Amino acid sequence: MPEKTLTIGITGPESTGKSTLAEQLANYYGAVWVPEYARAYLADLQRPYTQADVEKIAVEQLDRMNKALKPAPKLVFYDTELLVLKIWLENAYGTSPAWLRQALHQQNIDLYLLMDVDLPWEPDPQREHPHLRQFFYDWYQRELLALKLNFVTISGSYTARFEAARQQIDKLLI
């Protein structure tokens, strides 16, 4: 019987090092890494994004996440997953589609790494809420708890984050 793929979702507010950590961990473990699709989509968009755009991003992110599971790698890192898109939609538009909420319940991620807001804000044209990071961190934490998902908070410098995440993942790999 083949081993189950271990999946790690990196989640949390903007400018908390999600992409950096996902890439570092994937490189360290020689694992599959699913980058955040929203960055590429928004970079090509020549107008302000809409609710329909965010929903398209969610569909494509989910598709890429599913494709990464074939042919059953040992370990997959998701730089952004459906919780990020749900919160984005609900904050910006007051709602998220039922299919997204259902898919979030079926995401089956083994461990979520909730990124703390203790890193300095790094400006980026795609980032929108420099003064709301604690608000969003609290929202992510509430959602993870309400959904009864396995998560740990990752804090500190980039080096400390990598080490803390690696220790958590190593525990799951044993």
79-90 tens-digit pLDDT: 989 999 999 999
Token pair of 144, please?
């993870």
Please write the tens of the pLDDT for every residue from 42-78.
999 999 999 999 999 999 999 999 999 998 899 999 9
Please write the tens of the pLDDT for every residue from 118-134.
998 887 778 888 889 99
Token pair of 98, please?
């039922």
Q: Report the pLDDT value the prediction gives residue 109, as an integer from 0 to 100.
A: 96
CB 37 within 8 A of CB 64: yes
Give the CATH number of domain 6-173.
3.40.50.300
State how far the alpha carbon of 156 is from the alpha carbons of 14, 32, 165, in Å: 16, 25, 11
Is residue 125 classed as helix, strand or coil in its secondary structure? coil
**C-alpha span between 93 and 23 (Å, rounded):** 30
**Residue 2 reports pLDDT greater than 70:** no
**C-alpha span between 111 and 123 (Å, rounded):** 28
State how far the alpha carbon of 111 is from the alpha carbons of 124, 150, 154, in Å: 28, 5, 12
Helices (H), the chain: 18-29, 37-44, 51-68, 82-93, 98-105, 133-146, 158-173
